[in-house]
Amino acid sequence: MLNDLFVNFCVLCTTTFLVGWTLRSLKHAWTWTQIALRALLTVASSFVLIANAVPLAGGVALDLRAVPVALATIGGGVPAGVTVALPLIAYEVWRGGERALVHGLSLALVVGLCALALRGVPRDVENSGVRWWVPFGIFAPSNLPLAYGAYLATGDAGYAASVTLLLTAAQTIGMLASQAITVTQLRALERAEVLTDLAYTDKLTGVGNRRALDEALSHPGDISHVLLLDLDHFKLVNDTRGHDTGDRVLEATAAVMREVLGRRGCPYRFGGEEFAVLLRQTSTAEAVGLAQELRRRVAQEVGTRSGHPDLTLTVSLGLAGVHPASTALERADNLLYAAKRAGRDRVEAEALAVA
């Protein structure tokens, strides 16, 4: 029996690991497709556990189907737990007999007790797991209907009690092991995202860095234009007001860029006081309009946002089409310096100059 129960435990750990593959990002909200896929895999894992149940005397069978239900409730609340439990209850109803009532009541208790146990617990409990006594306190009372069913099937109260204790212990260990797997996957994902941020994000301004820019340009997709902008006379700011002020100016410039661009483009820090923008699916006229808005907003807001309302900064901008991508930055850079030579605080675009 212990060997069969160990097989059930291994199946639980394997399916938990497979469900964990649906975890792709901690930053972005889950899409309905991801939620549905995770629910489907969790329900499927419960059926796999039922298929590998441990048969006992009197028609009693032990399995760990309640563990995925508990994990779903902890991770997604009562709706998630009910979503996973209902197909299992429907399956037992289809099979018929008293088992349907026993298992249905047991799974309902699991969902309800999980909800009660997690009241006042931080919402990120899935990321850290729960203490060992929490699953024991959930499964022990939820297994009482199963204990009663075993007693009715065998007429042996001692046997029913021992089987129930064994199942509760197995469920508790199984849930702790599954939580350990899930927490490990979440922490690995978190570390991966931190490393990705370090590799692709400019630490000071929070926008993409040169590596991120180069990678985006290597697969331009729906990118239509490349815009380079450079703060005019930025060295003078550092020399007269200090590098701390210079840093605040760069942060304020990046903030203005994000507000102006929205979803129409992605900003990057190209180097020093120079920034780049990749614009998506915009006409040249629209791209020039965005560049002009950036130029105006920087002049109007960056000084105040950086804590120096008496400071007025201007930018020079060069706008080029993305194709061919291999020369886009070079062409935009040439136009940027053309704007500098033409007097600064202006936009130069390919085949079009707009002051």
Alpha helices in 96-227 (DSSP H): 99-117, 125-128, 133-142, 144-154, 157-200, 210-218
CA distances 305 to 121, 128, 133, 176, 248, Å, are 39, 39, 52, 50, 8
| CA 265 centroid distance within chain | 22
Sheet (strand 352-354) strand order = 265-271, 274-280, 223-231, 315-321, 347-349, 352-354
Q: φ, ψ for residue 349 (rounded to 5)?
A: -120, 155
CA distances from 295 to 131, 208, 210, 312 (A): 55, 20, 22, 12
Name the active-site residue from 126, 190, 273, 350: 273
Respond yes or no: is residue 273 known to be catalytic: yes
Classify burial at 144, counting beta carbons within 10 Å of its beta carbon; exposed 0-12, middle 13-18, buried 19 or more. Answer: middle
Residues assigned a catalytic role: 273
